[in-house]
Amino acid sequence: MIRGCIQLGSVPKDDTMVNLTPVDYASQAIIYLSQQPTSLGKVFHLINPQPLPWEEVVNSIVSFGLSTSTN
């Protein structure tokens, strides 16, 4: 969604919280869990316990010099 917003130069106006999990964290967790015999047959949900407000994500995009308009 973030990539699409950047490509369009537009972001939706929303007041929700966004759960972004860094890919390096998620990949390390997947590797670790896949090597644990006790993980066999179980389901794991990798989430960030500290979600960000969508507005903060948009502000970060803008801080990198990318222009966006709010729709």
pLDDT tens, 16-49? 999 999 899 999 999 999 999 999 999 999 988 8
Q: Is the pTM of this model over 0.85?
A: no
Does the residue 29 lie in any domain? yes
Does the residue 10 lie in any domain? yes
Does the residue 33 lie in any domain? yes
Dump the DSSP string for 21-59: --HHHHHHHHHHHHT-GGGTT-------SS-EEHHHHHH
pLDDT over 90 at 61, yes or no: no
Radius of gyration of the chain (CA): 16
Cβ atoms of residues 54 and 14 within 8 Å? yes
Task: Report the alpha-carbon distance of residue 59 to residue 37 in Å, rounded.
Answer: 42
Question: For the chain, how many structural domains are there in total?
Answer: 1
